[in-house]
Amino acid sequence: MGPITAILFDKDGTLFDFHASWGDWAAEMLDRLAAGDGARHAALAGAVGFDPGARRFRADSIAIAATVEEVALRLLPHLPATDPAHLVDLLNAMAARARMRPAVPLAPLLDRLAGRGLALGVATNDAETPARCHLEAAGIADRLCFVAGYDSGHGAKPGPGQLLAFAAATGRRPAEVLMVGDSRHDLIAGRAAGMGTVGVLTGTAAAADLADLADAVLPDIGHLPALLDRIAAR
């Protein structure tokens, strides 16, 4: 891995702890859609791989890396009277209000990384509008020079479109960029874009799930400065 001049972060499970951030949202969403029907609630929870008792997603949940349209398609068979476009709008509106729990104190870390001269961005399979709401609420939107969702015109991960758009927007060669994420989708996208890849364990994946696609696997993004020091020393 050569000199690194930019870092592109996934959002959920990377900047924000996945279970802590999305467990309450999922529980509220399922309660609203089920409207008191216990059997429907169970079917909806199963469709998106969510355990309502534990308020946690299964490791194979579609919600971890899918777009909101893909999640909606899993839910629609259990909501026969629901308009697909309305469901997507509802999920996006509820997502924008979800309270994100930072994986680490974000502003100090991003300031430390920016102090190294690194360009910083976010690529997420969320829609761009909810993503920007989360970044604004966390007080870090002004630290980021690029934010893309699946609907921003660059495609969704595991395709490399968002990543290549970040490199172009910041004037970096892909080899100068680290893609940091918590899922195989993130790391596959990074490899496809020709970027360095770093996995973090603040999502649902274990180190063994990410190791074959990652140049490094870290407990969380707070370990990035030390990793950058090691890269620079090579």
pLDDT per residue as tens digits for the range 30-61: 999 999 999 999 999 999 999 999 888 988 88
DSSP codes, 165-194: HHHHHHT--GGGEEEEESSHHHHHHHHHHT
pLDDT reading at 212 higher than 70 = yes
Q: Report long-range pairs for 31-40 (Cβ below 8 Å, ≥24 apart).
A: 32/94, 33/75, 33/79, 40/78, 40/79
The gap from C-alpha 61 to its chain's centroid, in whole angstroms, comes to: 13
Q: CA separation (Å) from 216 to 31, 208, 224?
A: 39, 12, 10
- Which residues of the chain are in CATH 3.40.50.1000 domains? 6-16+102-233
pLDDT band at 184 (very low <50, low <70, confident <90, very high): very high
| DSSP one-letter code for 76 | G
Cβ-proximal residues to 38 (8 Å cutoff; 6+ apart), any chain: none
Query: What pLDDT is attached to residue 66?
Result: 82
- The residues with which 9 forms a beta bridge, in sequence order, are 122, 180
The CATH number of 6-16+102-233 is 3.40.50.1000
Q: What percent of the chain has pLDDT over 70?
A: 99
Q: CA separation (Å) from 91 to 29, 156, 205?
A: 8, 18, 24
Question: Alpha-carbon Rg of the chain, whole angstroms?
Answer: 18
